[in-house]
Amino acid sequence: MAVQLSNLERYERIAWAYDLLDLPFEYGRYRWIRPVLFQDLSGRILDAGVGTGRNFPFYPPRAEVTGIDLSPAMLARAERRRARAATHVELKRMDVTRLEFPDGTFDAAVATFLFCTLPEELQVAGMRELGRMVKPGGVIRCLEYTRPTGGLRRAMTYLWEPWVYWAYGAGFDRETERHVPEAGLQLVEARFVADELTKLLSARTPKNLSPRLSTA
């Protein structure tokens, strides 16, 4: 019987080789779309699922960023990259579905290929927690994988999927976009930024939300 790994176990196992495995995608695709996440953002920013710190060079210079990740091994890799960040960065080990910050701590939050690694039953909890962390009217942006509709690209994702799931616990069929309003947030943008494979989701927290969202 095959052993089912948790996402924490996956990333603890693969952290040492993560950047190498991701290198073709990072320089062929991701580095050109990461800046979109941070466009016009300022103040205190939460980078949820910070991984090995690939977003560091794209942080707004006058922002203060807190990066969280569930995996200590991934955070250790991010620590080595901290000097490349354009601003001050604090790193913490934390689960996006159970964040330990007070309500409204941040002006904005971003997540890069995080929700495609969360199972469907945790999607709303994770999105709701980001909404709780961000001040009323603040922005939440996510980059996520999707399943293309085109024949060849769609077929390729089915070929990649066993590897992507084994290595990262990720899938192409997560319904993150649908879960945004379920989490009490306003979806303001959903558009493809790399063919039909990668989508940018932008949401806002309600301006008149009182009391704040809570997962309790």
The two tokens of residue 14 are: 């693969």
pLDDT computed for residue 4 by the predictor = 53
Average pLDDT of the residues in 75-87: 93
pLDDT of 210 strictly over 50: no
Residue 154 pLDDT grade (very low, low, confident, very high; cuts 50, 70, 90): confident
For the chain, list the domains and their CATH numbers: 7-204 (3.40.50.150)
Dist. CA 53–CA 75, nearest whole Å: 8
Say whether pLDDT at 211 is over 70: no
**DSSP character at residue 108:** E
Q: Which is more confident, 68 or 164?
A: 68
For the segment 2-16, the average pLDDT, to the nearest whole number, is 81
Helices and strands of the chain, counted as H and E runs:
6, 7
What's the CA angle centered on 179, arms 174 and 181, to 5 degrees? 155
Does residue 214 surpass a pLDDT of 50? no
Note the pLDDT of residue 195: 76
116-143 pLDDT per residue, tens? 999 889 999 999 999 999 999 999 999 9
Would you say residue 1 has pLDDT above 70? no
The H-assigned helical ranges of 39-119 are 72-81
CA-to-CA distance for 76 and 20, rounded, in angstroms? 16
Give me the percent of the chain exceeding a pLDDT of 70: 94
CA 92 to chain centre: 15
The larger pLDDT score, comparing residue 23 to residue 106, is at 106
Alpha-carbon separation of residue 89 from 61, 75, 151, 156, 193 (angstroms): 11, 12, 42, 37, 26
> Does residue 215 register a pLDDT over 60?
no
* pLDDT given for residue 67 in this prediction: 98
Mean pLDDT of all residues in 90-95: 97
Q: In the structure encoding, which two tokens stand for residue 2, read together?
A: 């095959």
Contact 159, 179 (CB under 8 A): no
Q: Could you identify the residue written with the tokens 């947030």?
A: 185
The better pLDDT of the pair 77, 146 is held by 77
Confidence of residue 207 (pLDDT cuts 50, 70, 90): confident
More confident residue, 184 or 156: 184
